[in-house]
Structure 1
Amino acid sequence: MRRGSAGLTRVVGVLAVAASVLAIAAAPASAAPDPEGGTKTLRAALESAAKGHIEATRKLAASQKRQKELQATLLQTQAETKKMESRIAAVAGRSYRLGRVNTMTLLLNAGSPDAFLERVQRLDMMAQLDGRAMTRYRDAIAAYTKAKTANELEIREQQKQVTILAKKKKEAELALASVGGGSVAGGFVGVNSPLAKPAPRGSDGSWPKERCTVDDPTTSGCITPRLLNAYQQARAAGFKHYTSCFSERASGEHPQGRACDFAAAQGGFENKNAAGSDKVYGNNLAAYFVKNADRLGVLYVIWFRQIWMPGTGWRAYSGSGGPSATHTNHVHLSII
């Protein structure tokens, strides 16, 4: 009886261990930490700041365009109103001099039936002309008032967007300062960088929301159509070194199909800082994305311990770790 009891205990123990192993094997694997350094909080803050800046810039430009059109309307309505002021003054003076009774007196004092009819016809024509003049004058005043009010609203809208731009810039600076970066950096600029084919925008100039819906040509994952355009445009411009876009990570744009890493070395991500022609390649690629940021919908570019954002320009980016974390062996591109 004791042997049987002991054997049963061993069997139960073995089954428990087996169940634990199966449970561990069946548990879903969590997303890998981001090998490029940084934190989820930092990436979320940078994305929010960049998106906010891009949207505020669009709204500011749209408001300035509308205000320019309104200024033309204001000048036109002002000129129309001034032009008609003398006409309205003449109408008012005639009404004051003649009045209803005097007009009837003029008609009754006509010397003949023909003269009477002629005076009636002239007064009727004068009344019609005066009525049209008054209507046009009222319309001109109303148009001017409407344009002036709309112009004042646009000025307030622009002030609002300028405030938002300043706020988003400050948010980006604080986020970078929290990890020891954020100081103004020399950056990478290329005036001779070729222009990219623009990605499609909405009718109001905004960037439509996109999901990871197209095959990633660099991995077995997916990317957004806008990122695919950026990737294809970079290759068309001659940047054809090894590239990797989609990847399962704990944060950032890569798992959303909105980021690519472009190796400085032709064959892939080397575990050393880029130098020589590889460094030049990275400099030129980073400059290309910055020059075409508005055409491609760039959120930010990271290269060689520096980060470019639309609201801040090039700033120091203090990644800690090897070449991947400091972005000294690849150019990182994130798209809105």
Structure 2
Amino acid sequence: MATFGNPATAEPTPGADEDGGQNLTVRQALDKATAEYNDAKGRLDKSVADQAAISDQMGKTQARLGELQASTATIANAAYRGHRVSIVNVVIGADNPDDMLHNMVTVEYMLQQENNQLRQVTEAQRQLEQQRKDIDAAVANQQAQLKVMEANKKAAEDALRKAGGGADAGSGAPSGGKVTTNSGARNSDGSYPKEGCTLDDPTTSGCISPRMLNAYNEARRAGFTHYTSCYRSGGGGDHPLGKACDFSANASTFVNARATGADKTYGDNLAAWALANAKNLGVKYVIWYKRIWQPSSGWKSYGGDGTPAGDHYNHVHISMQ
């Protein structure tokens, strides 16, 4: 059975089967599917927000168009019923040149008003048509992103099953965490910006991505200050990319045993916090106590290797987009 396991040690380290073969392929498939799901979900959320804003503006445009059309109709009715000064009246109805000039100015003003109203009506109609097209485009985009999300949800679940996990594990899993973070930077379409291992890792001599460093610091600010290790070389996961941290359940080290008591509670609370803040931080998945959480599927069983580290009984693993 393929696993995402680690050797029989208290400290999470790359297992031999992570360096190649089926397990590396499975892990890569999981990482890819979850990352693409997150990006599609970001695009979907952005499109839904855009649609709401366009719909609001469209309502205002429709109301404005109605007002303009009513005003234009009033002017037109007055003109056709002879209720305004006409060019003929200006010429034959004026008693003197001053009256003629006054009437001509009046005619010009009314014609300008009518033309201005008609231009505003035309512009409002153009805006309304463009807003309808924008909404149609937003709906089409949402449908496309939903298809991408569904395909990647399936791919991620397939990868988990190949690794010996994937069964529903939501009962009793950590939940109810508090949102303590603000939304991070996104691309204009709602997806996450690509990041590399460009910053110093505060837990090792290696590197870390900006999003991972932000999550690490936010976890600290939220009170999760137990021993943590992020970057490590080797293996096919996110640690060598600077996009994952292992948060020990124990305050000072990785213990070669299942977390119990206060340590277990700490791990549960940290995992719940990571879930609650996943969208803001850009969390890809969380692994804790032989369960894995993904935005697409929630908590599923995790195929470890039978050790406290490999089964993630002694630490919470957080992978970032």
Fold agreement, TM-score > 0.5 = yes
Kindly indicate whether the alpha-carbon contact (under 8 Å) linking 1:34 and 1:249 is maintained by their aligned counterparts in 2.
no
- Distance apart, 1:310 and its partner CA: 1.2
Q: Could you give the per-residue CA deviations for residues 174-212 of structure 1, whole angstroms, max 9, x where no partner exists?
A: 111222322221253343x45444474146454332222
Q: Does 1:316 align with 2:298?
A: no
Kindly indicate whether the alpha-carbon contact (under 8 Å) linking 1:261 and 1:330 is maintained by their aligned counterparts in 2.
yes
* Corresponding position of 2:29: 45
Structure 1: distance between partners of 2:237 and 2:165? 18
Kindly indicate whether the alpha-carbon contact (under 8 Å) linking 1:213 and 1:222 is maintained by their aligned counterparts in 2.
yes
Q: Does 1:209 align with 2:194?
A: yes
Higher fraction of helix: 1
Structure 2: distance between partners of 1:197 and 1:111? 76
Percent of aligned pairs sharing the same letter: 38
Task: Name stretches of at least 5 consecutive residues in structure 2 with no aligned partner.
Answer: 1-13
Distance change >3 Å, CA 278–CA 203, structure 1 → 2: same
Using structure 2 for the length normalisation, give the TM-score. 0.82
Structure 1: distance between partners of 2:80 and 2:58? 32
Using structure 1 for the length normalisation, give the TM-score. 0.79
Q: Does 1:222 align with 2:207?
A: yes
* Corresponding position of 2:248: 263
Q: How many residues align?
A: 302
Distance change >3 Å, CA 129–CA 184, structure 1 → 2: same
In the TM superposition, 1:87-106 aligns within 5 A as 87-93=71-77, 103=86, 105-106=88-89
- Distance apart, 1:216 and its partner CA: 2.4
Distance change >3 Å, CA 180–CA 86, structure 1 → 2: same
Structure 2: distance between partners of 1:238 and 1:123? 76
Structure 2: distance between partners of 1:211 and 1:335? 11
Kindly indicate whether the alpha-carbon contact (under 8 Å) linking 2:183 and 2:279 is maintained by their aligned counterparts in 1.
no
Which of the residues 80, 84, 87 maps onto 2:64?
80
Structure 1: distance between partners of 2:296 and 2:45? 15
* Corresponding position of 1:333: 318
- When structure 1 is superposed on structure 2, of 168-177 and 116-125 the one drifting more is 116-125
The secondary structure found in structure 2 opposite 1:331 is strand
- When structure 1 is superposed on structure 2, of 312-321 and 252-261 the one drifting more is 312-321
In the TM superposition, 1:142-181 aligns within 5 A as 142-181=126-165
Distance change >3 Å, CA 304–CA 127, structure 1 → 2: same
Which of the residues 9, 12, 16 maps onto 1:33?
16
The secondary structure found in structure 2 opposite 1:284 is helix
Distance change >3 Å, CA 72–CA 268, structure 1 → 2: same
Matching residue's letter, 1:81? L
Distance change >3 Å, CA 285–CA 80, structure 1 → 2: closer
Q: Does 1:299 align with 2:284?
A: yes
Structure 2: distance between partners of 1:318 and 1:250? 17
Kindly indicate whether the alpha-carbon contact (under 8 Å) linking 2:90 and 2:104 is maintained by their aligned counterparts in 1.
yes
- Distance apart, 1:300 and its partner CA: 0.6
Kindly indicate whether the alpha-carbon contact (under 8 Å) linking 1:32 and 1:249 is maintained by their aligned counterparts in 2.
no
Structure 1: distance between partners of 2:105 and 2:204? 87
Distance change >3 Å, CA 36–CA 195, structure 1 → 2: farther
Relative contact order, CA 8 A, sep 6+: which one is greater?
A: 2
* Corresponding position of 2:6: none
Structure 1: distance between partners of 2:65 and 2:301? 57
Structure 2: distance between partners of 1:220 and 1:203? 30
In the TM superposition, 1:116-195 aligns within 5 A as 116-186=100-170, 188-191=173-176, 193-195=177-179
The secondary structure found in structure 2 opposite 1:39 is helix
Greater Rg by CA: 1
- When structure 1 is superposed on structure 2, of 232-241 and 293-302 the one drifting more is 232-241
- Distance apart, 1:268 and its partner CA: 2.9
Matching residue's letter, 1:89? A
* Corresponding position of 2:230: 245
Structure 2: distance between partners of 1:87 and 1:238? 63
Kindly indicate whether the alpha-carbon contact (under 8 Å) linking 1:33 and 1:249 is maintained by their aligned counterparts in 2.
no
- Distance apart, 1:313 and its partner CA: 0.9
- When structure 1 is superposed on structure 2, of 199-208 and 150-159 the one drifting more is 199-208
Matching residue's letter, 2:57? T
- When structure 1 is superposed on structure 2, of 298-307 and 197-206 the one drifting more is 197-206
Matching residue's letter, 2:121? Y
Q: Could you give the per-residue CA deviations for residues 253-303 of structure 1, whole angstroms, max 9, x where no partner exists?
A: 011111122223344333333333332222222112112212322111111
The root-mean-square deviation of aligned C-alpha atoms, in Å, is 2.8
Which of the residues 239, 249, 254 maps onto 2:239?
254
Kindly indicate whether the alpha-carbon contact (under 8 Å) linking 1:36 and 1:325 is maintained by their aligned counterparts in 2.
no
Kindly indicate whether the alpha-carbon contact (under 8 Å) linking 2:184 and 2:282 is maintained by their aligned counterparts in 1.
no
Kindly indicate whether the alpha-carbon contact (under 8 Å) linking 1:35 and 1:325 is maintained by their aligned counterparts in 2.
no
Distance change >3 Å, CA 88–CA 200, structure 1 → 2: closer
Which of the residues 95, 107, 110 maps onto 1:112?
95
